[in-house]
Amino acid sequence: MTNRIDYFEIGSPDPAASKVFYGGLFDWEIEDPQGPSPYSMVDEARGGLWDTSDADGGSWAIFYVHVDDVQQAVDRAVRLGATVVVPLTDNGQIDFAHLLDPLGNRFGVWKPHA
């Protein structure tokens, strides 16, 4: 099913503090990062916590919309006034991108590999 929100992500330069806050607030189980990636799965893979301390150091919470074609969604969003924050990225399991809507709200689009 496409064009539906089905994942969320929290970007934090202090993932330990975010884990304490969100885990305490919502009783979410937040795993430790697996492997070299600074990424933790949240609430049985319903979301993720991204350690941004070695990247842009940003803090954000976004939703992801599952689309049929990530680049096509990015192009359409840009035509409608969005700004690309993270361009089309293939992490080996999914293609995704982050955008800002015309009012500055961050969101993501994604598609799993077949």
Least confident of 18-32, 34-48, 71-85: 34-48
30-39 contact pairs (CB < 8 A, 24+): none
pLDDT at 68 over 80: yes
Amino acid at 53: S
Rg (CA), the chain: 14
Give the residue-averaged pLDDT of 64-87: 96
Give the residue-averaged pLDDT of 106-111: 95
Cα distance between residue 39 and residue 73, in whole Å: 25
Helix (H, G, I), strand (E, B) or coil at 3: coil
Give the residue-averaged pLDDT of 11-23: 94
* pLDDT for position 1: 66
* pLDDT for position 11: 92
What domains does the chain contain, in order, with CATH numbers? 1-66 (3.10.180.10), 68-114 (3.10.180.10)
* pLDDT for position 2: 82
